[in-house]
Structure 1
């Protein structure tokens, strides 16, 4: 069988190319090497060289498709070999992160199941070639799914997580010839090394007390100890589930959500000062300071000719005032990070960016795979970073 007569270590090769001044000749050499490597890969997969008759042959050649391969030094345009069945997959691109693999797989699976848009089909063709098959989907799942399962079901007994952040976002999934709305539950914790971790995720039905309770019980079954504080939005079912599953844990109502709840009920005009005061209340570093800012807001509203239009805003503030100030019970350096779910919102933005392309997932498993891969990639990045999440961590949590 024909083999590539070059011994390659792709990590060393990539590093060498990265550190080089990539002129046209060097790029051309790199393209030649990569294309030759993939050609040899296809020969090995087929168990037959070009024009060779062999009883061991498992498939036949089916031309090439163009694909850009981006390195830090620039873009290489490669000719990727393909086979008639579509089962061949080069290992050259295995270096890209698992979330990209899951993203491509979600789109491919959508195409195979006939639920994609023309836009998604075009993306799949550019990334994977013109032909995709159920066997291709299966082979990628075999590589990716066990890794995500291991991450999702890992024991949590190895650490203490004094602070927990939870949130849910909605997506569309095909289910029994219907398109239904599903919720993605996410739990993010802060460990004793002051770094964030993704503790759990789950795609299930709409938010409810029972579904949130079930999610929390799964975390406890994996070894999660009772946190000091849980930060979330004010969904009624979620709040009751926190109280039920973590009795004695403080609940911090996300101040970003709460401020929007209050200011959305204010008049659109001539309310700038009032809106600023609402924001300042929840940037306070002491309970007394928050009370003083609240009194200042109430005094300002009382002087307004249209004070009746602020009634509902003040009622909302009164109802959630204490819950939104629980962060003040923790050390001051922690407070800016504990009072909101903003760190989870940034994750949600990345999830939404991918979800908008797929649009409707072919099944629940495909959605869970993509989101799980994104979350695991972020989890791994956080562990590698030297920078910590909270500014300082008290010795009592070490």
Structure 2
């Protein structure tokens, strides 16, 4: 309870408070999700938990989505091994069962098994977090050359559309692969995933190219978790992190729209088939 700012109270009071918090957190995390949610962010915070007499590292996966009204909400929390495809599929299916639908793009780091789970469960595109992608790319380059390579790679991200961004990134890769072949291969393999956001409305791209929108939230989660250090069980993680998420979500609902609604109209408009004849609105 110290992590929640509660000290100097009796065990019976603590027990009652924990029960009340659990009820509120569970109601929040299990609530139905109405409407359409085109963007979904997933990010992991790693925590220590006691399990079978050992201390293990577990991932607390936080899911944030934006609806077609341009408002964001925290839509889920899941605890477990983040590298297992079954883990991701179970979590995504639970979000779908609660009503998360019409997801167009999922933004996350490159977790093993997640991309396949997104495709199978949601049929959505995947945006590899650009911030983490850049760190991965620069790991193939000596420190003294990283600033130059970073500046070259960023030229692709300031292009106005997907075609020019792809052309620029390939050109940079071709220039660099002679000196750093592993970097060239990395860019070849990850180009589609790191540029996925370029297929979406320009008004939204600054917020959908990375998991940075969750940075402040994750810092608060980590700050509270550091007070505990090692969690005794999964339930205690859900209680603390869930309470932090509930508080943050309530605060978000008092703020302005997170994304421009004009871009949402463009994003959700049905595609017009080029072979479908258009009906003239001009009077004969």
Check whether TM > 0.5: yes
* Equivalent pair of 2:4/2:224 in contact (CA under 8 Å): no
| Residue 270 to residue 142, structure 1, CA distance change in 2 (3 Å) | closer
Match of 2:181 in 1: 311
In the TM superposition, 1:370-381 aligns within 5 A as 370-381=240-251
Q: What is the TM-score when the length of structure 1 is the normalising length?
A: 0.63
The 1-side partners of 2:2 and 2:146 are apart by 46
Q: Within the alignment, does 1:150 sit opposite 2:27 as a pair?
A: yes
Aligned partner of 1:204 among 52, 61, 80 = 80
Instruction: Give the distance between the partners of 1:128 and 1:270, measured in 2 at CA.
Output: 51
Q: Is the 8 A contact 1:161 1:224 kept in 2?
A: yes
Aligned residue for 2:137?
Answer: 262
Is 2:103 the partner of 1:227?
A: yes
- Quick check: 1:139 aligned with 2:9? no
Bigger radius of gyration among the two: 1
CA distance in 1, matches of 2:118, 2:190: 16
Deviation at 1:214, TM superposition (A): 0.3
1:276 counterpart residue number: 151
In structure 2, what is the Cα distance between the partners aligned to 1:298 and 1:150? Answer: 49
**Residues 104-162 of structure 1 deviation map (CA, whole Å, 9 limit, x = unaligned):** 38xxxxxxxxxxxxxxxxxxxxx522x653x2321111221111111111111x22101
Structure 1 unaligned regions, length at least 5: 1-100, 106-126
Aligned-pair distance for 1:296?
A: 4.8
Q: Of residues 151, 158, 161 in structure 2, which corresponds to 1:286?
A: 161
Q: CA RMSD in A?
A: 2.1
Aligned residues: 267
Asked if structure 2 preserves the Cα contact closer than 8 Å seen for 1:274 and 1:300, the reply is no
Alpha-carbon separation, structure 2, partners of 1:206 and 1:301 = 33
Deviation of residue 391 (structure 1)? 3.4
Once the two structures are superposed, the pairs formed by residues 189-200 of structure 1 within 5 Å of their partners are 189-200=65-76
- Mapped to 2, the partners of 1:348 and 1:128 lie a distance apart of 24
SS, match of residue 113 in structure 2: helix
Partner SS state of residue 260, structure 2:
coil
Q: 2:60 aligns with which of 184, 188, 192?
A: 184
Q: Deviations over 1:268-288 (max 9, x none)?
A: 113422221112323333123
Residue-by-residue CA offset, 1:235-285 (whole Å, 9 max, x unaligned): 1211111111112x1111111111111111111113422221112323333
* Alpha-carbon distance, 1:295 to partner: 4.8
Using the TM superposition, give the Cα deviation of residue 366 of structure 1 relative to its aligned residue in structure 2, in angstroms: 0.9
1-structure distance, mates of 2:127, 2:145: 31
Map Cα deviations across residues 28-85 of structure 1 (whole Å, 9 max, x no partner).
Answer: xxxxxxxxxxxxxxxxxxxxxxxxxxxxxxxxxxxxxxxxxxxxxxxxxxxxxxxxxx
| Alpha-carbon distance change, 104 to 287 in structure 1, aligned in 2, over 3 angstroms | closer
Q: Quick check: 1:357 aligned with 2:227?
A: yes
Could you list the structure 1 runs, at least 4 aligned residues long, displaced by more than 4 angstroms after superposition: none
Once residues 234 and 188 of structure 1 are traced to their aligned partners in structure 2, the CA distance between those partners, rounded to angstroms, is: 17
TM-score using structure 2 length: 0.86
Partner residue, 1:366: 236
Q: Mind listing any 5+ residue stretches in structure 2 that lack a counterpart?
A: 270-284
**Cα distance 1:312–1:222, how it changes in 2: closer, same or farther (>3 A)?**
same
CA distance in 1, matches of 2:18, 2:84: 31
C-alpha separation in 1, matches of 2:42 and 2:26:
20
Q: 1:345 aligns with which of 198, 204, 215?
A: 215
Change (3 A) 1:205 1:325: closer
1:244 aligned onto 2:120 = yes
Corresponding residue number in structure 2 for 1:159: 35
